[in-house]
Structures are given as C-alpha cells and as structure tokens.
Amino acid sequence: MKRIIQIFQCLLLLALFNYSTIGRTFPNGAVVFAVLAVLLIHFFAFLIRPQKRRKSQERRLSSLSDGACILGTSLVLIVLEIPALFILPKLHDAKVGGTVSYGYVIGSGVIAYLVIALMTFIGLVKIAVSARQHKASLYILLFCTWFLPVVNCFVLWKFYRHAKSEYHFEQAKLDLDDMRAENQVCLTKYPIIMVHGIFFRDWQMFNYWGRIPKALAKNGARVSYASQQSANAIEVSAREIAAHIENTIKLTGAEKVNIIAHSKGGLDTRYAISKLGMDKYVATLTTINTPHRGCAWVDKVLAKAPKGLADFLDNKYNKLFTKLGDTSPSFLTGVGELTEAACTEFNKNVPDMPGVRYKSVMSRMVSPLSAGFPLNIGYFCSKPYSQRGNDGLVTMESALYWEDSEVIPDTKKRGISHGDMIDLMRENIDGFDVREYYVQLVKDMKEQGY
C-alpha cells in the first residue's frame, strides 16, 4: 500500500512542480492549481504525522519505515524531475505553440528543489531518530557531501537502503516472536543465569548482553545476571556467582539453574561448580568464547610489559571500576589468570562434575576488518597461536573444550568476533542473527528437559 501511495505522491508533486510550465494547457488552470495545492498540504501532513502501526510493530519501526518511504519518494522525484524540466516545455510548445520562457522553467525547478529538500530533510530526521544500524561514518559522509550534486544522491540512496534493510530485519524478528509467543519456546524447566566476562559489569543502563535477554524474555525465558565484579581472581568471581546461584534457587524455588557464561565468566562458573559445591544447583553450563586453555598472547604481553606501565593501568582501572560499583577490582589479577600457564594449572585442579551438562561455543573473525578496536589488534596478537582462527581475543583451540562443542559458521563478508557473540555493538550482521541464535540455544535446553 505504501508503494502505491508513494507512486501517487510522485505523480502529484511532479504535476505541481511543473504547473507553471504545463498549466496553460488546461482550460481551468486555476481550478487545477487549487486542487493540487490542497493535495500538497494533505501530502505534507501525511509526511509529518505518525502512520498507523501494525499490531506487532514498534513505534520506532513505524517511524523508520515512514522515513525510508519519504526519503525514497524524494529520490524518485529527483530522478523524474530533472528530465521533466526539459521535456515538458517542448511538449507544451508542440501543443499550444509559442515558447515557454526560461523564467517558468527556473520557477518550476526552484519549487521542485525546495519541496524535495524539505521531503528529504523530514525523511532523514525520521530515520536518524529511529535507526539503530546507521554507523557514524555514514552521517559524517552525508555531512561532507550534502552540497555535491549526484554524489549526495548516492549517499542518500545508501541511507535509504540501510533504513529499509533494518526495518525488514527487525520487523521479521518481531513477526517471528509474535507468531511463536504462545509456545514460550524459551521457557526452560530451570531459570537462566547469564554470566559476563572480564572488564565489564551487568549494568541496567547498558546491558552486557545487548538485545539478547529481551529476545529470550519475549519467548518465555526467566533470565537473571550473576553481576560479579568486572575483574578479579577466578576464585573471588566464582564466590560471587555462587552467591547469586543460591539466591536464585531461593527466590524462584527451582531445583537447579542453567548458566550461559561468556569469556572469563566461563572459567569463573566452572570454579563455582567444581570447587564451591554449585554442581548440585547447576543443570547446564554453556560457555561462549571462553579461553579454557588460556590466551598465549597474554603470557607474552605480560612478560614484556614494563612493570611501571602494568601498575599504572592496574591503578587507573581499579579506581574507575570502584566508582562504577566494584568493591575490590583487580585488573592485573584478572588478566593474569587468563594466561596459558594459569589455565593449564586451572584445568588440572578444576574437574568437570558429573550431573552437569557442559557445552562450549566459539566463533571467529575472518580478518582484522571483522571488528573494530581493540579486537582488530587482538586478532593479530592471537593469530600466531592458532591454526583455526580466533575471535579477536580467544583462539578456537582454547575455546572448544568439551565433546559437546559448537562453532558458529563464518558469514559471507565477515566473521563473528568476541564482542559480536554478546551483541556488544547491537549490530544486525548479515548471515548471523545473534538474538535468534540464543533463542535457539535456550530452546534446545528446553527440548532436552533442562
């Protein structure tokens, strides 16, 4: 329906723009002009006011769709109006004789420019306030090229395509969740605890797991967060996780919990299960990109880093995260326990416990361009220590620890980084929907009786 309205709008505006050129061919030109003017006012009201949303559609997506439709209409008008300014005067001359003055043509062009510019502005504003996938580089490119004819059209087309792509991706996700809402595919027997990795916290304002928990909750999952400190010894973090497990059991009345742990959080949780008696409360542990066998490049960096620099970073980090909620963070202790040597010793002393289902998941980058700083640097640091690839921090050999292990397939244009696996940048990746991956992961837990 929007496409039909869009075509009608284009034809309507073309007629109005060129009225000064072709208007004299109508017997009742004044009436035609009045009708077109009324339709134009209605048209701009249509541009500005929010459109009726579909049942499962979020307000943001409705605005995004409207913005893309308006911007697309303006681009079509640009393409149609330029030849119209040259062709219509000739058609007029052939029909009524005489010659249309350049003043009429210029006047039509000015009116067309002003209306199209206003349409473009409205479309861009709607997209800017609604889109989540437009990168800053695209806005910078638009700012630097808006005054360059032809070039700005290509940039605007890129804006339009990004907006349409995001709309279709997000709407398809909403429709899928809406369709299976009654099935509660993520309502597992045991509640889910999500355990973060090093150098971060589970803050309310910026969720470590991005859009993943919301997608799980929409499909019935009961999710909570371990909320251990951002960086500390594995034993210290494990005790905080154990306390949360016990509290979850008490609050929910569940016999056990399912745990999904990312990065160092997987090591922390393994310690809690094996050494702190949490095996009786944990049904499953799924580790995501966890360095079970350590990171050899960390050994090398710590060996070569000047002690003064290491102490400086440790001091600054600890002060910052103390202000952010940690009680006693320790940057160097946390990093030191990720070395290959430390993890080798860890694995000797922390055995798997019977009765707990263990699974490891791992992804990899296909090039340094698969992620931004610092993972692109981490990719080069990790590369010499792996034959199978790395995710910007952890190698495949280190993360795939148990017999039940899963490798995320590479995408066509890029791989999946350490941060992508927790939806760090909230980015829709072509070929990999991280939210749907976790929905299917938890759905499998439900189907297996957990």
Range of the domain at 443: 183-447
Residue 246: Cβ within 10 Å count: 15
Instruction: Provide the pLDDT for residue 112.
Output: 74
Name the phi and psi angles at 131, rounded to 5.
-75, 150
Is 125:67 a contact under the CB 8 Å cutoff?
A: yes
Same domain flag for 156 and 227: no
Domain boundary, last residue among 177, 206, 240 = 177
Instruction: Provide the pLDDT for residue 233.
Output: 95
Same domain flag for 231 and 246: yes
Q: Give the strand order in the sheet containing 405-407.
A: 223-225, 192-195, 257-262, 282-288, 357-362, 405-407
Residues in a beta bridge with 194: 225, 260
Domain boundary, last residue among 157, 177, 197 = 177
Please tell me the total count of domains within the chain.
Answer: 2
| CA-based torsion, 14, 16, 22, 27: positive or negative | positive
Instruction: Provide the pLDDT for residue 394.
Output: 97
Instruction: Provide the pLDDT for residue 85.
Output: 63
Instruction: Provide the pLDDT for residue 405.
Output: 97
Same domain flag for 167 and 218: no
Domain boundary, last residue among 118, 153, 177 = 177
Same domain flag for 119 and 189: no
Instruction: Provide the pLDDT for residue 413.
Output: 78
- Could you give the CA distance from residue 241 to residue 117 in angstroms, rounded to a whole number? 56
Same domain flag for 278 and 364: yes
Same domain flag for 337 and 403: yes
Residue located via tokens 């681009």 = 75
Q: What is the CATH number of the domain that holds 364?
A: 3.40.50.1820
- Could you give the CA distance from residue 220 to residue 77 in angstroms, rounded to a whole number? 46
3-state secondary structure of 429: strand
Residues in a beta bridge with 180: none
Same domain flag for 255 and 139: no
Same domain flag for 113 and 225: no
Same domain flag for 166 and 277: no
Which DSSP letter does residue 194 get?
E
The pLDDT profile of the chain, 450 residues, written as one tens digit per residue, is 555 555 565 556 666 555 555 555 455 556 666 666 666 666 666 665 555 555 545 788 888 988 898 888 888 878 877 776 666 555 555 444 555 556 666 766 777 788 788 889 989 999 999 999 998 899 999 999 988 988 999 999 999 999 999 999 999 999 898 889 889 999 999 999 999 999 987 765 678 999 999 999 999 999 999 989 999 999 999 999 999 999 999 999 999 999 999 999 999 999 999 999 999 999 999 999 999 999 999 998 888 889 899 899 999 999 989 988 888 999 999 999 999 999 999 999 999 999 999 999 999 999 999 999 899 999 999 999 999 999 999 999 999 999 999 999 988 778 999 999 999 999 999 999 999 999 999 999 999 999
Instruction: Provide the pLDDT for residue 303.
Output: 87
Same domain flag for 102 and 221: no
Instruction: Provide the pLDDT for residue 27.
Output: 52
Same domain flag for 232 and 91: no
3-state secondary structure of 16: helix
Interior/surface letters 145-179, b for 16+ CB within 10 angstroms, e for the rest: beeeeeebbebbeebbebbbebbeebbebbebbee
Same domain flag for 257 and 351: yes
